[in-house]
Chains A and B, each alone.
Chain A
Amino acid sequence: MLGRVVPGVTTPVVAVINFQQNRNMATLKAISIRLKSVKNIQKITQSMKMVSAAKYTRAERDLKAARPYGEGAVQFYERAEVTPPEDDPKQLYVAMTSDRGLCGAVHTGVSKVIRTRLAEPGAENIKVICVGDKSRGILQRLYSKHIISVCQEIGRLPPTFQDACKIAGAILTSGYEFASGKIVYNKFKSVVSYQQSDLPLFSQKAVENAPKLTIYDSLDADVIQSYMEFSLASMLFYALKEGACSEQSSRMTAMDNASKNAGEMIDKLTLTFNRTRQAVITRELIEIISGAAALD
């Protein structure tokens, strides 16, 4: 017992002595390594910022063209006053995120909206489709039984209508007969702000039961079905565009902040590095001078 405690006490003492003996030299080296790595990180974040700034300009231009498109697609549902049916609680949530991270709270925001909804009562009737790996990553740990499918390869290239068609196809062929639902996405407001927003989804039955549908002329089930399939694709397309624009702008801000923080860290490290260097020089001088004085 005693034999075991004693070395336990002595070893740290030895370590402290060793540490003190070459502390300055070691920290000097350590600091310079640290400084180099922070400088590298700053270079990376700076170039990421440049890249996302270029991507953002394009995304914003695309979004301008997509806005009337998305608004036009939703207008019918607003005008016809389509409401989710009360007797059928089955809901579908579509989380519009992407595969790429390092862009602030864009993906967490969308996932949080859905997570909050899933934590409320009545969540057993909700299914989720994750567009983009990030929302899946956030939701799958707790709510994996709600996820019916995941779309990948979102965010590397600007979204196209083909992408939206594929997602719409996946939703329609998933076999889940939802009565209503929401597309949760980030609505781009300005370079520094975006807001979680949603677009409505309805089943064909909900549309057929809408109070103001009767004023619409010459409708048959075929027309409504094709109409709804197409408008689903256009809403997804619009949400993808909004999401892409918010993501790029948010990444730009995030990377700008990261570069700034790295800059601050570099300043501090340079200061300590120089101080330590001077201390080492001073100490060596003292050693030499006192050695010479001892010889006299």
Chain B
Amino acid sequence: MAMALRSLLRNSTKRLQVRSFAAEAPKEGEMALTFAAGNKVFYNKQVVKQIDVPSLSGAFGILPKHVPTLAVLRPGVVTVLENDGKTNKIFVSSGTITVNDDSSVQVLAEEAHPLENLDRGAAQEALSKAQSEFNSAANEKAKAEAAIALEVAEEIVKAASA
């Protein structure tokens, strides 16, 4: 009995593996997403349905066969709609988005973390710290740096409380 169960289990894992391999090879009209950050790789050339990204020129959604473009990420939440209908929300601090003419998409972030890893309390703390730093910044450069920290902290709080 146990043997049979085990072989069944093995078979099913094998089948699962085969299926995921088949899904990974992008076909015509599909969108291969590479989503990586300095700390982790989230997607590596995986086919997905849709990606919503926050960019400096406004948030936009990317579907297969999107017109090729370049954009710069601003702090916010990237939403990835996977092929099986699952949505994956990931917070990014900054980075770039590239949509190429072969419908491959590269989202490269400096730091990225899944939304569930964000802690609201810690984010609030970081926000108030950034605020005080912004107010006490002496020169232009420090002020600009503090402004960036403030923006990121604000977005983290917004994302964590949503």
Contact = CB atoms under 8 A, between A and B. Distances in A.
B41 A217 contact: no
A65 B70 contact: no
A71 B106 CA distance: 9
Interface in B1-58: 34, 36-41, 44-45, 56-57
Contacts of B94: 230
A217 B69 contact: yes
Interface of B: 34, 36-41, 44-45, 56-57, 67-72, 94-96, 98, 100-102, 104, 106, 108, 110-111
21 contacts: A65-B39, A68-B34, A69-B38, A69-B41, A72-B106, A73-B96, A75-B98, A76-B70, A76-B100, A212-B101, A215-B101, A216-B69, A217-B67, A223-B71, A226-B56, A226-B96, A227-B71, A227-B96, A230-B96, A230-B108, A231-B108
B44 A75 contact: no
A107 to B, nearest CB: 25
B96 A231 contact: yes
Contacts of A75: 98, 100, 104, 106
B95 A230 contact: yes
Main secondary structure of the interface of A (DSSP, over half): helix
A227 B72 contact: yes
A92 to B, nearest CB: 21
A66 B104 CA distance: 18
A79 B101 contact: yes
Contact of B70 (A69, A161, A219): A219
A4 B54 CA distance: 92
Contacts of B101: 79, 212, 215
A179 B68 CA distance: 25
A28 to B, nearest CB: 60
Nearest to A69: B36
Interface in A63-122: 64-66, 68-69, 71-73, 75-76, 79
A223 B108 contact: no
Contact of A79 (B39, B45, B71, B100): B100
Contacts of B36: 65-66, 68-69, 72
Contacts of B71: 218, 223, 227
Contact of B44 (A68, A226, A231, A234): A68
A230 B92 CA distance: 14
Contact of B106 (A76, A160, A215, A217): A76
